Structures are given as structure tokens and as C-alpha cells.
Amino acid sequence: MPTDHGPKPLRATRSGPLKGSLRPPGDKSISHRSLMLGALAVGETVVEGLLEGEDVISTAAAMRAFGATVTRGEDAVWRVAGPGVGGLLEPEGVIDYGNAGTGVRLALGIAGSHAFATTFTGDGSLIKRPMGRVLDPLRRMGVQVIARSGDRLPATVRGPDVPVPVEYRLPVASAQVKSSILLAGLNVPGTTTVIEPVPTRDHTERMLQAFGAAIDIETGEDGSRIIRVDGRHDLKPQHIVVPGDPSSAAFPIVAALIVEGSDVTVENVLLNPTRTGLLETLIEMGADIVIENRRAVGGEEVGDIRVRHKRLKGVRVPASRAPSMIDEYPILAIAAAFAEGDTLMEGIGEMRVKESDRIAAIAAGLVANGVTVEEGPESLLVHGGAEVPGGGLVATRLDHRIAMSFLILGLAAEKPVTVDDAATIATSFPAFQGLMTGLGARFEEATDG
Ligand code: S3P
């Protein structure tokens, strides 16, 4: 779904202690997959706690275009009645996925193994992002592809009558690529195999198991994960409770660490070990973080995270941690700016192909606010200090996480920090401003940009 808002500049000002508790929105990865697997099951899937952000609403619209019935009750419970694997209909129009990289890459897999044509496009950020990483394995399955140069959107995929199962070793550590192939494999006769040398978030595998797919996971001799799915079996509809998104929880967590005197509890946060790299890193930096009330929700571990202000120290974040905190480097860089000493983030080349080139966007934003950084092709070094001057105007480049990260910086910097567009935050965390304000954060509209 395209976003029709104009830019909304917003300014954050040094705030008093942040106090209280909040619940982050539902996890974005699980929300996309809930609607997709609901459409691929026959019968009614019920989803509680869905993230109602623009990215996920785009997936709801896409699933409707494929013939699923997707409705929201007044109680915010969503229901998906799926036509089921192999039963999807050819969409009548172009599917505009807005800003949602995960949504479009997973939907390309779903569409690609169906014998009809689907055309996808997106916003000014999404049409710049590489789609070859999912289109290449789809081509090997026999899918016809017409895409803009460099395998960019807009792109059309047309599945063959009988797609061919593949065995595909992931050339990049990407849960999106893994998931796209596995979702395509659901409508491929025979066994589709994905080999994952480096583990990435495993929500697709867990949810496929819950939906009754014929899926099998094994560890190879070299330690890689081998995931096999047998296609053309029916999926059983599920009742899903979506846990809170750790990638959204990251913003109030870091805010509480850097704003003096803060004491904040972020409730109901997903603690799946493929998503907890930021918590591990912040604890290494000396953060005062306590996880309370650990419990199971919908087959996942969740907990309440209590964070108190603490002066952090710089650390080296190893490349091996990147998959478990890939979306959290922007906000880690903000924590690093206030830490004592240097923080080096290595092996983060994937950051260059997110909603924006995040290494460049973070570096430019920090420099604009008086922080010294060293940018490498696949790394970022932040020189921390007790005080961050602030006072900068940050270009958010259609990237929600860049917008939220620099607003958090402004809550603790000496001078206010302005982001040129906070409207993009609605893609993943529509209640960000209200929830943060409830803790004591100070924001104001910035008409002068
Ligand atoms: C996601 C996977 C990650 C992440 C994205 C969500 C997912 O992308 O950055 O926000 O839901 O599978 P990659 O797997 O491409 O790194």
C-alpha cells in the first residue's frame, strides 16, 4: 500500500527522566507471516496483536488481491480466510508494497510458484532495493521474471504450471530470502531445500511447523541449517498471538539508557534468540537491563525488559552477531555515541541495502550532530563521549529506523535534533511518538525542517 503522506519534520529535545512502562507493537516479521500463512491455509486463521503498521497493512492488501478474505474486528483481532496453497487467484492490478521489503520479498515467493502473472512495485526506497536475491532462486524453479534493470521493482513474476524444486544455499545471510524460497516451495511438487550457513530469524520455520507444513530441519556437518519443505500439502489454519517487536522495543530501551534518571519497563517483548543481539551487546556495554516475567506466548518466549539509565562503555560488535540484530544497528549507534570510548560494528554490509543505505545514513546523521565516526565499506566506528552536541538536521531517506534513532538521540543531546520526515515511522511503529511522550519524551513539530 503506498504511503500518501507528505514529509513530517519532527524535533526531539533533551528530556527529563523517562519513567513508566509501555507495550511495543506486534512483531513485524511475525505479523507479515501470520497474514501470508493464513492466506495459504484453507479455513480461518485468527491473529491477535497484529502490528497495524503500513508495511503489514500492505501485506493484508496483497493477500486480498490473491483472493484471501482479510478482516479486522473492532477488538483489533484479524481474521484471514485463505484460498490455500495452489488456490490463489491472479491479482487484477499491480501490487504496490509501499516501503515493505520483507513483505514484497516473501510475496514474490508466494506469487512465483503460482501459474499466473503478478506485478509488484513500491515506494522510492523499495524500488531501489535488490530483488535478485529472491528472483534468482525463483528463476531456478522455472519462474519467468521481467524486472527493471538490476533486478529492481517494478517486477512481474509468472509461475510455471509445474515448478521445479531446488536446493539453494543462501549466498547472503537473509531470513527474507530463506522465507521467500520456503513459501514458494509450499506450491512446488517435491522437496525444496534451503541451506543456511549462518542462522537468521527462524519465524517462518516455526510458523510453518505450527501450520502443519511438511517441514524438516537438520544441522549439516559444517554446522549449517538444512531446511526442507515438501510442497502441495494443505496447511491448517491457526490462532496466532503476536508477541511485541524487539526491533521496536529497542528505541525505548536505548532511550532509557541514555536519558539521565530513567527507569522504563518495556513489556511483552519477543525474546527469540535469533533476535536478541542488541540486548547482548548493550549488556556487554554495561547496561542496567533486567528481564522479568519470562513466559511463553504463541510458541515464542517473551519477557518484560526493565531498563535504568547507565553510562555505557564502547565495545567491538563481532560480525557473527549481525543477523541477530540486523535492524538494531541504527539505534545501537545512538547508544554508542553516548558511551565512553569507541564502538566498532563489523560485518554490517547488509545495512547498505535496507530501507536506506543505513551505514551512510547513520554516519551522516551522527556527524551532523557533532559525533565523530569512521565509515568502512562494511563497518562503522563511533567515537563515544559523555555529551553529544546535537543541533543537527537529519535526512531520514524514507527510513523509519533512521527517523526513530535520531529522535532518541535528541532526547539526550545538548541541543535539539530534527529529523526531516517522521511520517515513515508509521510503517513499523505508528504509536512511537505517543508512547515515548507518555514516558516523558519531548517532541515538537518542526515546521522549519
Ligand atoms: C526480516 C529479515 C531481515 C530484517 C527485516 C525483516 C524478516 O532482513 O532486516 O527487517 O522478517 O524476514 P534480511 O533477512 O534480508 O536481512
Amino acid identity, position 129 = R
Is residue 361 pLDDT above 60, yes or no?
Answer: yes
CA of 324 to the centre of ligand 1 (A): 10
Nearest-angstrom CA–CA distance, 173 and 68: 31
Check: CB of residue 307 under 8 Å from CB of residue 264.
Answer: yes
Q: Hey, which of 32, 36, 104, 176 would you mutate to test ligand 1's pocket, going by the most ligand atoms within 8 Å of its Cβ?
A: 176
pLDDT in tens, 432-443: 999 999 999 999
- Model confidence pLDDT, tens digit, residues 192-224: 999 999 999 999 999 999 999 999 999 999 999
- Minimum CA distance residue for ligand 1 atom 10: 327
Question: What is the sign of the dihedral through the CA atoms of 346, 348, 352 and 355?
Answer: negative
Domains by residue range for the chain, with CATH = 10-26+243-445 (3.65.10.10), 28-241 (3.65.10.10)
What pLDDT is attached to residue 4? Answer: 54
Distance of CA 57 to the CA centre of its chain: 14
Helices assigned H by DSSP within 41-188: 54-65, 101-112, 132-140, 175-185
pLDDT tens digits for range 42-84: 999 999 999 999 999 999 999 999 999 999 999 999 999 999 9
Q: Are 182 and 213 in contact (CB under 8 A)?
A: no
Query: Would you state the pLDDT for residue 403?
Result: 98
pLDDT at residue 21, rounded to an integer: 98
Check: pTM over 0.85? Answer yes or no.
yes
Kindly give the distance from the C-alpha atom of residue 301 to the centroid of ligand 1, in angstroms, as a whole number.
Answer: 20
Backbone angles phi, psi at 351, to 5 degrees: -60, -20
- The CA distance from 153 to 105, in Å, is 11
Confidence of residue 6 (pLDDT cuts 50, 70, 90): confident
Residue 393 has pLDDT above 80, yes or no: yes
338 neighbors 256 (Cβ within 8 angstroms): no
Nearest CA to ligand 1 atom 9: 327
Q: Any catalytic annotation for residue 96?
A: no
Per-residue pLDDT band for 448 (boundaries 50, 70, 90) equals low
pLDDT, tens digit (0-9, with 9 covering 90-100), for 78-88 = 999 999 999 99
pLDDT in the model for residue 5 = 63
